[in-house]
């Protein structure tokens, strides 16, 4: 079994960014469908995706919903910096602050995860 942490850094500002979130979630779904261990972390501008994808009208919402159980959380610091802290607090997505108010990627490395960024 593979152990993969997917880190979403792409913001919501461009068509290219939309492609990156779709690819990140597709990889998560493929891993999930093959019984691999996968955890998704939204960091940096990637925190902006959570409120967008929570909207059931968003084209990518069905894919987001399909892998939502694998979302490890979102960076607390970045959620504040990118202005989506309050919106994320309204969801069941955990705000991560393991290291200086940021998610600890080191913990994934220690636990044997491969880290892939989008």
Q: What is the pLDDT along the chain (118 residues), one digit of tens a residue?
A: 999 999 999 999 999 999 999 999 999 999 999 999 999 999 999 999 999 999 999 999 999 999 999 999 999 999 999 999 999 999 999 999 999 999 999 999 999 999 999 9
Coarse DSSP helix, strand, coil percentages of the chain, rounded to the nearest 5 percent: 50, 20, 30
Supply the pTM of this predicted model. Answer: 0.96
Are the C-beta atoms of 17 and 11 separated by less than 8 Å?
Answer: yes
Q: What is the pLDDT of residue 74?
A: 98
Domains and their CATH numbers in the chain: 3-117 (3.40.1260.10)
Q: What is the pLDDT of residue 93?
A: 98
φ/ψ of 38, rounded to 5, equals -135, 140
Q: What is the pLDDT of residue 110?
A: 98
């Amino acid at each position: 079994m593979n152990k993969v942490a997917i880190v979403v850094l792409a913001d919501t500002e461009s068509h290219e960014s939309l492609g990156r979130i779709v690819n990140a979630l597709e990889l998560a779904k493929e891993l999930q469908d093959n019984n691999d261990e996968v955890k998704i972390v939204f960091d940096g501008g990637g925190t902006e995706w959570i409120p967008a994808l929570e909207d059931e009208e968003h084209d990518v919402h069905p894919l987001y919903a399909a892998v939502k159980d694998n979302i490890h959380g979102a960076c607390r610091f970045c959620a504040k910096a990118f202005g989506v802290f309050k919106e994320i607090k309204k969801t069941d997505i955990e705000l991560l602050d393991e290291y200086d108010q940021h998610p600890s990627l080191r913990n994934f490395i220690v636990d044997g995860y491969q880290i892939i960024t989008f």
